[in-house]
Amino acid sequence: MGAPSRRHTATADWSAGQYLKFEDERTRPPRDLLAQVPLDSPGRVVDLGCGPGNSTELLIERFPNADVIGVDSSPDMLRKAREQLPRCTFVEADLSAWMPEQATDLLFGNAVFHWVPDHPKVLARLLQSLPPGGVLAVQMPDNTNEPALTLMEKVAASGPWGAAIAQAQRNDLPRPEGYYDLLRPLCSRIDIWHTHYNHIIESHAGVVEWFKGSGLRPFLAPLDAAMRETFIANYTDEIRLAYPARSDGKIMLKFPRLFIVAVR
């Protein structure tokens, strides 16, 4: 597959509170992904990168008789998930090395694999671990060329923070053809598609809040409080120019996402 040109290094822990400020919008892609999972009554289901449990809750609703397990590397996200779903099992692990137990029927990864280094290889390994008929279902933001993301890089390149955040950019995703060529030989059926959401956000500050819960994290984590404030102020100015307010004063945030459903 084409080698991604940029690098990302994860640093600080995630914040469940910040992430959940846009819970409705963030839970729509996993609903759309789950709608395409061709399973009736799986026995064992794993929510990969379960975060605060919003995607896990969807899995429990759809498969009430399944053993549903959440896996995440963030203690803060897991704390929130355990609070939300006390009867569910949550495991702290890094997906780079994690392997499912035998007879797992569904591996569901919403908005996580773009954070996992060399994720195509990890997807191939996980798909191969499934029994025949098992499903790997994945959604990732494909938005590195959207202004909201390129402007993070612009601000990173122009401020006093210099090398501290030089490695913060997220890699571009491979093209759908790359995933197809990699995963098709490992499965009996594969469906790959894009959906472009147009989220309506109250204000420019709201757009910045959205990304503080995800894409801005690696840029802000290495900075001290004063630098963070300057970075956010500069980024907000850029967002204001790139996303003009609509007729009602709100902002339309275009958000392309890539979906993959592979049946072993």
Ligand X SMILES: C[S@@+](CC[C@H](N)C(=O)[O-])C[C@H]1O[C@@H](n2cnc3c(N)ncnc32)[C@H](O)[C@@H]1O
Positions in the binding site for ligand X (CB under 6 A): 14, 26, 30, 49-51, 54-55, 72-74, 77, 94-96, 110-112, 115-116, 214
Helix (H) or strand (E) holding 65: none
- Which of 42/51 has CB closer to ligand X? 51
Taking each helix axis from N to C end, the angle separating 119-128 and 176-183, rounded to the nearest 10 degrees, works out to 30
Helix (H) or strand (E) holding 108: strand 106-110
Report the candidate in 220, 238, 115 with the shortest Cα–Cα distance to residue 170. Answer: 115
Report the candidate in 52, 46, 86 with the shortest Cα–Cα distance to residue 66. Answer: 46
> Which tokens sit at 50?
């379960």
Phi, psi of 67 (to 5 degrees): -85, 110
- Which of 26/199 has CB closer to ligand X? 26
Nearest approach in angstroms of CB 165 to ligand X is 18
Pairing of strands 44-48, 251-263: unpaired
Q: Which residue has the tokens 């598609």?
A: 193
Nearest approach in angstroms of CB 106 to ligand X is 14
Nearest approach in angstroms of CB 246 to ligand X is 26
Nearest approach in angstroms of CB 49 to ligand X is 3
- Which of 68/95 has CB closer to ligand X? 95
- Which of 115/161 has CB closer to ligand X? 115
Nearest approach in angstroms of CB 61 to ligand X is 14
- Which of 16/187 has CB closer to ligand X? 16
CB atoms under 10 Å from CB of 103, counted, come to 12
Nearest approach in angstroms of CB 130 to ligand X is 18
- Which of 49/100 has CB closer to ligand X? 49
- Shortest-Cβ-distance residue relative to ligand X: 51
**Distance, C-alpha 17 to centroid of its chain:** 16
> Which tokens sit at 91?
């495991």
